[in-house]
Amino acid sequence: MELERLQRAIAGFEALLDENAAENATRNVAKSATKNAGKNGAEERAGVDADEARVLHAGSALLRELVANDDWLPPQYAQPDAQHYRQYLLHADAAERFSIVSFVWGPGQSTPVHDHTVWGLIGMLRGAERSERFVPDEAGAAMRNLGETVLRPGDVEMLSPAAGDIHRVANLYDDRVSISIHIYGADIGRIRRHVYDPATGAMREFVSGYANAREV
Ligand SMILES: [Fe+2]
C-alpha cells in the first residue's frame, strides 16, 4: 500500500491553496490602495474564477498522479455496499479548504442528479463510470441533458459551479465494482447542496455525509 501517494496529493493541494491565498492577499493590498476598492463586484468575481481555474488546472495534474496507479487505496475504503454507492472520506483539510473522497460503485449503481456548489475533480481509479450533465430548463420542465462523459482509469474530470456542475454519475459496469477518487473545494460530506428531479427540475437540499467517520 502506497499511502505516500495520497500524502503527496494532500501536500500538493495544501501548497496550491496556500499559493492562492498568498496571491489573494497581494491582490487585496493592491486593491485597497486604489480609490475604487470594494466597488467592483465583477473584478472580485474574476479573482474568484481565476483562483478556481488555477486550482482545477494544477489540481488535475495532482489527481492524475494519484490515480495513475491503483496500488494505494486501503481495502476498507474500497468496500461496496449491496444497495447504494458509498463515499469514504480519505482526508479533510483542517481549514476545510478541500476534502478527498473515494467513491465506490457496486455493479449498476448510480447517484441521483446533484450539484456540488464548490469546485471538484474526479479521477478514475478502477473500473469506469458514466457522468451525464444536466442544466435546468424553464420552471417545471424536464432538465436538459447535455450528454455524457465516460471516465476510465487514469482519466480526470473537472467540475466548476460557474460552468455548471449538475450531473448524475453511474458505474459503467453491471458486473463489477468501480472506484473513483474525488477532490472538492470544501468538506463535501458536510455542506448543503442539492439533488434534482430531472423530469421536473425540482430541487431539494441535501447533505451527503460519509460512509466512514473522519479519518487520516
Ligand atoms: Fe458529483
Given this model, what pLDDT does residue 42 score? Answer: 74
Candidates 164, 84, 86; CA nearest to 120 is 164
pLDDT digits (tens, 9 = 90+) for 82-139: 999 999 999 999 999 999 999 999 999 999 999 999 999 999 999 999 999 999 999 8
pLDDT at 105: 96
| pTM > 0.75 | yes
Distance of CA 78 to the CA centre of its chain: 18
Q: What is the helix (H) or strand (E) element at residue 8, kind and residue range?
A: helix 3-32
The H or E element spanning position 16 is helix 3-32
The pLDDT value recorded for residue 9 is 97
Q: How many domains does the chain have?
A: 1
The rounded Å distance from CA 18 to ligand 1 centre is: 25
Taking only Cα atoms into account, the Rg of the chain, rounded to an integer number of angstroms, comes to 18
H or E element, residue 170: strand 167-171
List the domain range (segments joined by +) for residue 184: 1-216
Q: Which of 71, 103, 66, 119 is nearest to 212 (CA)?
A: 103
Tens digit of pLDDT for each residue in 26-74? 877 776 666 555 556 776 667 667 788 999 999 999 999 999 999 999 9
Q: How far is the CA of 181 from the centre of ligand 1 (A)?
A: 11
pLDDT at res. 216: 42
57 is in an annotated binding site: no
Annotated binding-site residue? 114: yes
Residue 36 Cα to ligand 1 midpoint, Å, equals 38
Average pLDDT over the chain, rounded to an integer: 91
Query: Separation of 15 CA from ligand 1 center, angstroms?
Result: 25
Query: Average pLDDT of 137-151?
Result: 95
Looking at residue 126, which CATH number applies to its domain?
A: 2.60.120.10
167 is in an annotated binding site: yes
